[in-house]
Amino acid sequence: MLVLVAPGQGAQTPGFLTPWLELPGAADRVAAWSDAIGLDLAHYGTQADADAIRDTAVAQPLLVAAGILSAAALGDILPNAVAGHSVGEITAASFAGVLDDTAALTLVRKRGLAMADAAAITETGMSALLGGDPEVTVPHLEKLGLTPANVNGAGQIVAAGTLEQLAALNEDKPEGVRKVVPLKVAGAFHTHHMAPAVDALAKAAADLTPADPKVTYVSNRDGQAVATGAEVLERLVGQVANPVRWDLCMETFQELGASALIEVCPGGTLVGLAKRALPGVKTLALKTPDDLDAARALIAEHASA
């Protein structure tokens, strides 16, 4: 049983799109998407520096484009289940046939702009906490005024809030937490700081006509499978201001009987979590086209009708 997953913001690195654009037809496809959303995806994916692609309005469409492009390079596959972390949920909606590629990129472009505007209101950010017990960590974060914005499982929680609150966290880590790592994001996503973006995204979503998922679509709001395109879209809107429960998604993968998990480009983060939380599940991250043959072999072995 094969699960296809898409990473969220912070997974991008300078130049990561370069080898993918060398695949047949890829450059033309990305150029068409760039024209559709008014953003030069090829430039940002190949030439821009880390600060430029940290910009929320750039990073989000870039990640969705890379995820769709790398999944398409696998050929005509139909995974048994799909899911995405944060903005990766829009990528997953494309995998599931809920949104076509252009609709997904149009929505994520508006999402990125709206969240960038919301982030500009107050200086905020996010930091990953490695280790510790959630029952100890979460109350500690709330005491500091921080939100557990991503509960990722495998001993990882991401805290979000103002820069002052995050600085206080560095000085006062919860018991059992080994390390606090600032993330390459430009705001406190999945918190009340993003509330202004919800209305803008709702207006953008109103122009779309979603289809029902062709495969099991697992929502990171609560780890539940969502049966209709309308509900997927409603959850994508509200998700920007609500925590990501990737731990619950992984529990659902296990309940569904997942035997393999492939993370699309720029893969690595979700595979790392799966290796710790899903023992026995084979994993593969699509980092470059060199990983495609191994991914196809995994698909042939684990995808079922």
Tell me, what CATH number does 37's domain have?
Answer: 3.40.366.10
Q: Give per-residue pLDDT as tens, 27-57.
A: 999 999 999 999 999 999 999 999 999 999 9
Exposed e or buried b per residue across 290-300, where buried means at least 16 C-beta atoms within 10 angstroms of its C-beta: ebeeebeebbe
Is residue 232 pLDDT above 60, yes or no? yes
Pair 62, 76: CB distance under 8 Å: no
Please check whether residues 165 and 17 belong to one and the same domain: no
Residue-level pLDDT at 185:
83
Stretch 152-178: mean pLDDT: 94
Pair 46, 15: CB distance under 8 Å: yes
DSSP, collapsed to helix, strand or coil, labels residue 34 as helix
Extended strands (E) in the chain: 2-6, 81-84, 124-131, 147-153, 156-162, 177-182, 216-218, 225-226, 260-263, 282-285
Handedness of CA 66, 72, 78, 79 (dihedral sign): negative
Q: Which of 158, 182, 206 is the endpoint of a domain?
A: 182
Is residue 250 pLDDT above 80, yes or no? yes
Please check whether residues 110 and 9 belong to one and the same domain: yes
Cα angle 215, 281, 74; round to 5: 50
* Amino acid in the structure at residue 257: G
Stretch 252-271: mean pLDDT: 97
**Taking the model in full, what pTM does it have?**
0.94
Please check whether residues 138 and 17 belong to one and the same domain: no
Please check whether residues 36 and 80 belong to one and the same domain: yes
- Domain of residue 132: give its range: 124-182
Q: What is the 3-state secondary structure (H, E, C) of 17-56?
A: CHHHHHCCCHHHHHHHHHHHHCCCHHHHHHCCCHHHHHCH
Q: At what angle do helices 56-72 and 101-119 cross, to 10 degrees?
A: 160
**DSSP letter, residue 178:** E
Indicate the pLDDT class of residue 246, thresholds 50, 70 and 90.
very high
Return the number of other C-beta atoms located less than 10 Å from residue 241's C-beta: 20
Give the Å distances, CA to CA, from 34 to 6, 39, 62, 113, 285: 20, 5, 10, 15, 25
Is residue 66 pLDDT above 60, yes or no? yes
Is residue 200 pLDDT above 80, yes or no? yes
Q: With pLDDT > 90 as the criterion, what percentage of the chain qualifies?
A: 94
Question: Annotated active-site positions, please?
Answer: 86, 190
Residue-level pLDDT at 155:
84
- Return mean pLDDT, the chain: 95
* Amino acid in the structure at residue 5: V
Task: Identify the burial level of 69 via C-beta atoms within 10 angstroms of its C-beta, where 0-12 means exposed, 13-18 middle and 19 or more buried.
Answer: buried
Instruction: Give the residue among 66, 135, 65, 103 at the shortest CA–CA distance from 211.
Output: 103
Q: Which of 139, 159, 182 is the endpoint of a domain?
A: 182
Q: For residue 266, is the peptide bond before it cis, meaning its omega torsion is within 30 degrees of 0?
A: yes
Please check whether residues 173 and 246 belong to one and the same domain: no
Please check whether residues 164 and 237 belong to one and the same domain: no
Is residue 77 pLDDT above 90, yes or no? no
Residue-level pLDDT at 184:
79
Scan for tokens 């720029």, then name that residue: 266
Residue-level pLDDT at 10:
87
Pair 202, 28: CB distance under 8 Å: no
Q: Give per-residue pLDDT as tens, 93-129.
A: 999 999 999 999 999 999 999 999 999 999 999 999 9
Please check whether residues 200 and 87 belong to one and the same domain: yes
Stretch 69-78: mean pLDDT: 92
Is residue 230 pLDDT above 80, yes or no? yes
Report residue 162 as tokens. 């103002």
Stretch 206-217: mean pLDDT: 97
Is residue 254 pLDDT above 60, yes or no? yes
Number of domains the chain is built from: 2
Is residue 78 pLDDT above 90, yes or no? no
Pair 67, 45: CB distance under 8 Å: no
What's the rounded Cα separation, in Å, for the pair 279 and 201?
37
Scan for tokens 């048994």, then name that residue: 80
Is residue 305 pLDDT above 70, yes or no? no
Is residue 194 pLDDT above 90, yes or no? yes
Residue-level pLDDT at 16:
98
Non-local CB neighbours of 75 within 8 Å, separated by 6+ positions: 296
Please check whether residues 101 and 64 belong to one and the same domain: yes
